[in-house]
Amino acid sequence: MERLKKINYSVLDLAYVREGESLNQTFENTLENAKFVDEIGYSRYWLSEHHNMQNVASASTSLLIGYVANGTSKIKVGSGGIMLPNHSTLSIAEQFGTLDALYPNRIDLGLGRAPGTDQLTASILRRGNNFMNYNFEAEIKDLQNYFSTDNKDSKVRAIPGEGANVPLYILGSSTDSAFLAAKLGLPYAFAGHFAPQQFYNAVEIYRSQFQPSEFLKEPYTIACVNVIASNTDEQAHYLSMSMYQAFLNIITDKRQPIVPPEKTQLELASSEQKYMLKGMTALSFIGSKGTLSQAFDEFIFESKVDEIMVSTNVFDQKAKRKSYQIVSELFR
């Protein structure tokens, strides 16, 4: 299983809100989880921008990144991602320039083009602007310009931001993002934890089309996947019921907080909903250390990814950290 020892491993956290839990406790859990993985060798800890969701508290992503970076010491902290159409590029350059000044060489900026919410909420975030013709590539280049010292003579500058060391990552769940990341010569993170259908095609397109840039000489791929590890396969599958219920709630448009396994109602799902659920969770690694070791070895061999980013939606926080620990033991 030497393949597992040769790649980086990291965390995607959506700051899941658990049933009966305050937002303050949600954020404390996020920080405690980040501290834990910081000590056991994880490469990065990313937080994802979502809005108008009862079960996700990562709407103010850059604020949470600062909170986590301040409470940790070594791990890189970043966005997985910032949904760029919701923001002005100047504002994002200033926010992440500030973060880089506070926590030098530890801040990542993953960028997505999806709204991270429903269309009504997106229209409010964007002040009703029509983004049907939104040019993601042009906005990324605009952001890069604000970060560049070549912009120092411009009438509009990002202060903080100009000259900041904030690496950009392109996030995606389709082949469109793969072509763009390859064209721009930027690292590519695929959202396999909820949209796995085009994963293999996307990473192959990215690698075959990659154009070296001043930012990256060789292609670099991150696969974000669902991972729940425990002492036994049975216990891991039991814990995973909360994750499956959360995905089923997305399908049925019930955005409620995360519930413990014993309160899930997966048996009520229709045949069509079960089919959709299976598709959404196809890139899920659930089981004991031995089971996951073989599954990850095969996955890395087939996909040739450079980094595994784990999304672990487990209700019990001790069980969540146990899962992180087992994954760390596999990859260290």
- Percent of the chain's residues with pLDDT above 70: 96
Q: What pLDDT does residue 127 have?
A: 58
Q: CB-side exposure of 194: number of CA atoms within 13 Å? A: 16
Q: Is 332 exposed, middle or buried (0-12, 13-18, 19+ CB in 10 A)?
A: exposed
- pTM value? 0.95
Q: What is the mean pLDDT of the chain?
A: 94
pLDDT, one tens digit per residue, over 191-228 is: 999 999 999 999 999 999 999 999 999 999 999 999 99
CA neighbor of 224 nearest in space, from 312, 117, 137, 322: 312
Q: What pLDDT does residue 130 have?
A: 59
58-to-115, 116, 170, 304 alpha-carbon distances in Å: 14, 11, 19, 30
pLDDT, one tens digit per residue, over 129-184 is: 656 678 999 999 999 999 999 999 999 999 999 999 999 999 999 999 999 999 99
Indicate the fold that domain 2-226+305-331 takes in CATH. Answer: TIM Barrel (3.20.20)
Interaxial angle between packed helices 271-280 and 241-251, expressed in degrees from 0 to 180 and rounded to the nearest 10: 110
Q: Where are the beta strands (DSSP E) in 36-87?
A: 44-47, 76-83
Residue 285 contacts by C-beta under 8 Å, 6 or more apart in sequence?
Answer: 225, 226, 227, 228, 229, 292, 295, 296, 299
Q: What pLDDT does residue 4 have?
A: 84
Provide the 10 A C-beta neighbour count for residue 318.
8
pLDDT, one tens digit per residue, over 284-331 is: 999 999 999 999 999 999 999 999 999 999 999 999 999 999 999 999
How far is it, in rounded angstroms, from Cα 84 to Cα 221?
20
Q: Structural domain boundaries of the chain?
A: 2-226+305-331
